[in-house]
Structure 1
Amino acid sequence: MPKKILVIGGTRFFGKLLVQRLLRAGHQVTIATRGYAPDPFGNRIARVRVDRRNESAMRAAFQDARFDVVYDQMCYSPLDAAISARVFGGKVGRYVMTSTLDVYRALPAQNAPFNEDALQILAQPIDAAYPWHDPALANDCYVAGKIQAEAYLLRDGSLPLVSVRLAHVLGGPDDYTGRLAHYVDLVRARTPLRYTHARARTSFIEAQEAANFLAWAGAQEFLGAVNAADDGALSAYELHARVGQALDEPARVRKAGADESGPFSPFDLATPLVLDTARAKALGYPVKQTDDWIGDAIRQHDLAYV
């Protein structure tokens, strides 16, 4: 049955892919952005131009609106979460927040994958006085901001919350992060990868699959946190080797010395950061394998190098 859906964000990377899937499924889609980035959707969607960090603007934009599902791609702090709760409380059937595997960085390192219950989200402190919206602090406060955003929404309870803790998203022509391209460039230039721990693996998900997972999560009835990843974690060392295999080039490496500071490349971790996907599987999601797409994603980035 077609639904009325709001996507906060939705003009970049897997957010754009999410909107495409929702449209193909026949839903009525509105995107809310500041209007700076173009989108390819034409008259198939409605658009609201608003700064999601401006509460008065958000209240004015959505005063009389009701949505079956809200996808919030831009909730980065408890201040953002509070705005959502006050603007959309009682007005949405389902609120899907895009979170991240990085929330588990706050926990002691472990060799086993992290399941959703590993992070006691209700026990997390919320710092409303921190300058969350200071652009100069965006990178430094990213992990704490996501954790506290989840914590605020869960404690507030006015929104039917699903927090999708996405693995590192790779692949696709709109991957603006440059993370996978970094390894392609090293291999093509025959420059050694400096690495720290060859077996400190982390989880990945392909961009199309990230959009699929979000679309699926919005159509279900469960609430709470859910990990979203493809099975088959890789370390930076192993990812670099996969690039060499896919491009039929030597993947040179050099272990960093104790006196060298890092990180030396994306995903070069000191300890594993892997997601347990058991809950997603139990809920019926067909979790895929990293091996199914990583080679194609590497070769796609290689085209940009050529």
Structure 2
Amino acid sequence: MGIGHVCVIGGNRYFGKRLIQRLLDAGVRVTVVNRGSSAPPTGTEHLVADRDDEASLAAALGERSFDAVVDQVCYTPRQAEIARRVFAGRTGRYVMTSTVEVYEHQDSAGLVSEEAVDPRTVAVDLTLPWDDTRFREANYGEGKRQAEAVFAAEPAFPYAAVRVAHVLGGADDFTGRLDHYAERVRAGEPIAVPPVNRTATYVYVEEIAAFLDWALRADFTGPVNAAAHGRLGTADICAAVTGAIGGTARFEVASGGLSPFSFTRSYGMDNSRAEQLGFRFSDSSEWLARAVAETVGTRGAEV
């Protein structure tokens, strides 16, 4: 699908800003909507609005319409309800950035496919305290599931949900998860892992930006998994960390206080649907060392 004007809601940092730059480089007009706490990349149109306030969002958009929208910050069914109403008749396509966490109840040794969580069968409860930050954070996966369900139940436009794997890479990785490992390696402190440490699928920061760009131009609907080939465990990630900064990773079995990317359940996603639709993912072995070095290799003087 050809796109001339794209609206990006939030997400103008990390892989979101990479997506925006890709669009700008391709000559696409980009309008960024956020609360004004951070400026979007140069070359975009900036609209300030509270996406939780329907009147505010509609007023900021005015009479604008878009070829496609990518929603980087839809965390609850209430936010999805507002977006569905406000953007109805304004866009030809809507892509919501979802998460691997929608599969938090699907503990499988294999790779989980999209059919494991069909948003058309997910119950939506708008009475839950979705506006409470602590509740929303504690129910992140459920919030994303119900947001997907809102769009799927009564689609006001062609809609896709990109279920993003854990993202690695970039000096601007703000999550602190790789830094956690680097700090412990440098200090000689143990890395806490569960008795049975499960693997997960991941995606490189540049690749998820490319995937979202591709998804905006595609015409499929419904959920799609976005993950590189090749599952990784804590030891694989720590090997990349020590390869970037030196030292030795020392593991310690624990029942709580686990290190990031140390899982008691599998977080592996099957990317077959995306590949059948035409996107070719890399293998994590192709970029893991580079991705980790981009993050922890730039922070040695800061730790």
TM-score, with normalisation over the residues of structure 2? 0.94
Q: Take 1:244 and 1:298, find their aligned partners in 2: how far apart are those partners? A: 10
3-state DSSP of counterpart to 1:47: strand
3-state DSSP of counterpart to 2:65: coil
Q: Take 1:265 and 1:140, find their aligned partners in 2: how far apart are those partners? A: 18
> What pairs with 1:229-248 in structure 2 (closer than 5 Å)?
229-248=227-246
Corresponding residue number in structure 1 for 2:5: 4
> What pairs with 1:209-288 in structure 2 (closer than 5 Å)?
209-256=207-254, 260-262=255-257, 264-288=258-282
Q: Take 2:34 and 2:265, find their aligned partners in 1: how far apart are those partners? A: 36
Shift of 1:100: 0.3
Contact 1:8 1:33 in 2 (8 A): yes
Q: Take 1:152 and 1:207, find their aligned partners in 2: how far apart are those partners? A: 28
> What pairs with 1:103-122 in structure 2 (closer than 5 Å)?
103-107=102-106, 109-122=107-120
3-state DSSP of counterpart to 1:250: coil
Q: Name the amino acid aligned to 2:110.
A: A
Q: Take 1:68 and 1:39, find their aligned partners in 2: how far apart are those partners? A: 20
Contact 1:161 1:223 in 2 (8 A): yes
**Greater mean deviation of Cα atoms: 235-244 or 137-146:** 235-244
Q: Structure 1: which 4+ aligned runs deviate by more than 3 Å?
A: 245-248
Q: Take 2:46 and 2:101, find their aligned partners in 1: how far apart are those partners? A: 31
> What pairs with 1:94-105 in structure 2 (closer than 5 Å)?
94-105=93-104
CA gap of 1:75–1:7, structure 2 versus 1, over 3 A, is same
- Point out where structure 1 has 5 or more consecutive residues left out of the alignment: none
Corresponding residue number in structure 2 for 1:48: 47
Corresponding residue number in structure 2 for 1:32: 33
Contact 1:81 1:149 in 2 (8 A): yes
CA gap of 1:91–1:2, structure 2 versus 1, over 3 A, is closer
Q: Take 1:102 and 1:249, find their aligned partners in 2: how far apart are those partners? A: 32
Contact 1:79 1:132 in 2 (8 A): yes
Corresponding residue number in structure 1 for 2:185: 187
Shift of 1:221: 1.1
Q: Name the amino acid aligned to 1:284.
A: G
Contact 1:5 1:69 in 2 (8 A): yes
Q: Take 2:234 and 2:137, find their aligned partners in 1: how far apart are those partners? A: 21
Shift of 1:190: 2.0
Q: Take 1:71 and 1:63, find their aligned partners in 2: how far apart are those partners? A: 18
Shift of 1:125: 0.9
Shift of 1:224: 1.0
**Greater mean deviation of Cα atoms: 198-207 or 27-36:** 198-207
Shift of 1:202: 1.0
| Structure 2 residue 57 is the aligned partner of structure 1 residue 58 | yes
Corresponding residue number in structure 1 for 2:284: 290
3-state DSSP of counterpart to 1:76: coil
Shift of 1:2: 5.0
Superposed CA deviations along residues 32-53 of structure 1, whole A, max 9, x for unmatched, are 0111113331xx1111000111
Q: Take 1:173 and 1:243, find their aligned partners in 2: how far apart are those partners? A: 14
Q: Name the amino acid aligned to 2:267.
A: L
Shift of 1:199: 4.5
Identity, % of aligned pairs? 38
Q: Take 1:6 and 1:81, find their aligned partners in 2: how far apart are those partners? A: 15
Q: Take 1:240 and 1:270, find their aligned partners in 2: how far apart are those partners? A: 17
| Matched residue count | 299
Shift of 1:245: 3.7
Shift of 1:148: 0.0
Shift of 1:197: 4.4
